[in-house]
Structure 1
């Protein structure tokens, strides 16, 4: 396939010769053949010429859930990857959130094979413990050999401190990345939202910030003892940012992420008892949100994620106490970040993180495989339910104003447009 992008403005701060320049880009059989001010198309070339066309290297999301196998009614791998591609993402990390859970090499092989040949590449996480029950380590080494890029018990804390110690020690033998979800379940108790004056007045049981911060403190002490590579997903409190900043200054190999909805919403959105705002970690306060935004800008928080989590209608159209946690977020990630940050920062955040998982960062240069996201950063629009591409419709962003539009991706010798 031959593709010619006309007058595309390049956003790539790592490449000062092309950054913020308008160029024609010619792609032949999935490889960038030429980048110039003006290029003439060869025979049988698809020409792409669009309003305010911008391009960057392909975007990356470190926390995405689908449903297949076991919960295909939520999302299949095929439609999930199609949704991700149309939302601008060329690579994603798939959470172990299926039935059965991927806790063996055969499970990882299934996920890899099912996703082969798609424009968006799927990189699976394996379960850290057997059935993610927190009792015994799963087949970490075998799963990594099969293609797993890290190990996580998705949204489930590791309550057994010794198990986390053993996991970090064992994983060092093959340089594996270990996740620990930041939640002390005993402190959290039966809480379902942030513990704060507003939520208490609503009669909702709260999860104090202490539950997150105490678990992070424990994890960092263990990491200092064992060494290894630790990732703390989706932090949500101001003190969590401080703790991780301190650990990094000490030289600990720790990374963390934040969900876009925790940057954008606060717990005051719970006043209408809309279950789309029942999230884990819960929405926190304005001061927490400000600290998270500052932590991102300063590089303390390593990357953002949509934390895309499709759920059945039956899990959301129900009383708040019994509703499931989670929102979809792939379709709205760019439009929200582009409001919160300037364009260059937005693209920097959307392209960070591959290296943590041992993945190669694409290059926008002649002779490189084309891995590009095409977008227009200008138009404002309101996100409606009919704009949702995912099979599940549980979005906290319905009715929100988004800035910018994704045209599609060119990746894996595929044009998704």
Structure 2
């Protein structure tokens, strides 16, 4: 990297002394050399980026993304996943263990970390709670922690055995590990393909009720209280889940949670098209659930927003809705969707950049002279088309493909590397 001067950008960094201020910032080889008022820094011999009407923030951090590697490279490789992440403004990504083999031992965790060393995006593997993600026996949790696992989850397979979840919480408590729970009671949901409600009744499709998520959250909260252990809930989707977690926080229980960006803007009404790109898990819920999720974000009940990036090959999506695989590619569409949801920019940065790092106990990027830059510059009003030319993922399963989106990342800097959008 050469010298870069970003001029007239407005900082969005809650808690920083310059939050909300507009200034110029000089970077050299990815290191912050100076910042000050507009035109206070010489621009001789440097590449100038006009930051007018743009916002500078710490690089986004995703708590829930799926890359295919190892084993499912036809869906996404480390390289293509990192390319999609940086195009979406992310400088850090926590990777779910939904791979083949799963991230269930030191070997897979180390492979993922070593494979991403040269990437702009920092990768944080999430180790599987159970061997083979089978939900029967605990995996090598402490060994994975020593190898660099940032937390532990069973990925998109919810832990059905209360005893196993209990042991995982107790064991992780001993070495300050964090359990990230995906809440779904299969005996209630029957792993149905869409939300249970008026639309599922109208379409004649079996529904996955809110209760399937909420009863599992209630169970895992009780287990966390019993052991005095922290717990994080991934991709909550219902108004009842928000209420349960809000009450738990008010009681002082050590609980955090996140929501996917698409669950803030898409409802189950869209399933009427039978477009398999709207098939996700948890399923798209109702507008009432969306309003509860937004309220939860604003009042602090929900701590973070995630992409839930889930690439799938075309043959798994271009089939009947009921047999299609769950998931959409989402790393590049998080910013436009959160802006569409109408959240304030300060809330956006808090939920996308600050809180995710706090949840995993990762140091926040520092905006000080001499520090390595970890920044994203974005224009919340710039429009762009998400298509084969702009998509950086190896897969194309998105309901927003070929659509015009508002909110574009223009510059990402991390680890002495840069990406220009």
Whole-Å separation in 2 of the counterparts to 1:300 and 1:119:
31
Whole-Å separation in 1 of the counterparts to 2:248 and 2:344:
29
Instruction: Decide whether the 8 Å contact of 1:56 with 1:364 is kept in 2.
Output: no
Establish whether residue 406 from structure 1 lines up as the match of residue 409 from structure 2: yes
Partner of 2:287: 286
Establish whether residue 390 from structure 1 lines up as the match of residue 390 from structure 2: no
Whole-Å separation in 1 of the counterparts to 2:231 and 2:51:
42
Superposition deviation, residue 63 in structure 1 = 0.5
Whole-Å separation in 1 of the counterparts to 2:187 and 2:207:
13
SS in 2 for 1:353: helix
Partner of 2:16: 15
Instruction: Decide whether the 8 Å contact of 2:9 with 2:55 is kept in 1.
Output: yes
Superposition deviation, residue 350 in structure 1 = 1.8
SS in 2 for 1:387: coil
Superposition deviation, residue 398 in structure 1 = 3.0
Whole-Å separation in 1 of the counterparts to 2:188 and 2:42:
64
Closer/same/farther in 2, CA of residues 75 and 229 from structure 1, 3 Å limit: same
How many residues align? The count is 415
Superposition deviation, residue 190 in structure 1 = 4.6
Establish whether residue 327 from structure 1 lines up as the match of residue 333 from structure 2: no
Instruction: Decide whether the 8 Å contact of 2:151 with 2:178 is kept in 1.
Output: yes
Partner of 1:415: 418
Superposition deviation, residue 403 in structure 1 = 2.2
Q: 1:348 aligns with which of 328, 347, 350?
A: 350
Instruction: Decide whether the 8 Å contact of 2:7 with 2:52 is kept in 1.
Output: no
TM-score (norm 1): 0.96
Instruction: Decide whether the 8 Å contact of 2:275 with 2:321 is kept in 1.
Output: yes
Q: Which stretch has the larger CA shift, 400-409 or 111-120?
A: 400-409
Partner of 1:171: 172
Whole-Å separation in 2 of the counterparts to 1:144 and 1:57:
26
Whole-Å separation in 2 of the counterparts to 1:401 and 1:347:
23
Whole-Å separation in 1 of the counterparts to 2:211 and 2:175:
33
Superposition deviation, residue 228 in structure 1 = 1.2
User: 1:271-310 to 2 correspondence within 5 Å?
Assistant: 271-310=272-311
Partner of 2:161: 160
User: 1:177-256 to 2 correspondence within 5 Å?
Assistant: 177-256=178-257
Whole-Å separation in 2 of the counterparts to 1:379 and 1:86:
14
Partner of 1:34: 34
- Unpaired stretches in structure 1, ≥5 consecutive residues: none
Establish whether residue 141 from structure 1 lines up as the match of residue 142 from structure 2: yes
Superposition deviation, residue 71 in structure 1 = 1.1
Partner of 2:268: 267
Q: Which stretch has the larger CA shift, 380-389 or 20-29?
A: 380-389
Instruction: Decide whether the 8 Å contact of 2:386 with 2:401 is kept in 1.
Output: yes
- Unpaired stretches in structure 2, ≥5 consecutive residues: none
Instruction: Decide whether the 8 Å contact of 1:339 with 1:402 is kept in 2.
Output: no
Deviations 1:104-126 (A, max 9, x none): 11111100000002111111101
Instruction: Decide whether the 8 Å contact of 1:94 with 1:124 is kept in 2.
Output: yes
Q: 1:379 aligns with which of 379, 382, 393?
A: 382
Instruction: Decide whether the 8 Å contact of 1:190 with 1:205 is kept in 2.
Output: no
TM-score (norm 2): 0.95
Whole-Å separation in 1 of the counterparts to 2:220 and 2:95:
23
SS in 2 for 1:174: coil
Establish whether residue 124 from structure 1 lines up as the match of residue 122 from structure 2: no
Superposition deviation, residue 31 in structure 1 = 2.0
Instruction: Decide whether the 8 Å contact of 1:62 with 1:305 is kept in 2.
Output: yes
Q: Which stretch has the larger CA shift, 26-35 or 56-65?
A: 26-35
Superposition deviation, residue 378 in structure 1 = 1.8
Instruction: Decide whether the 8 Å contact of 1:343 with 1:377 is kept in 2.
Output: no
Deviations 1:114-154 (A, max 9, x none): 00021111111011100000111011001001100001111
Instruction: Decide whether the 8 Å contact of 2:98 with 2:156 is kept in 1.
Output: no
Partner of 2:368: 365
SS in 2 for 1:5: strand
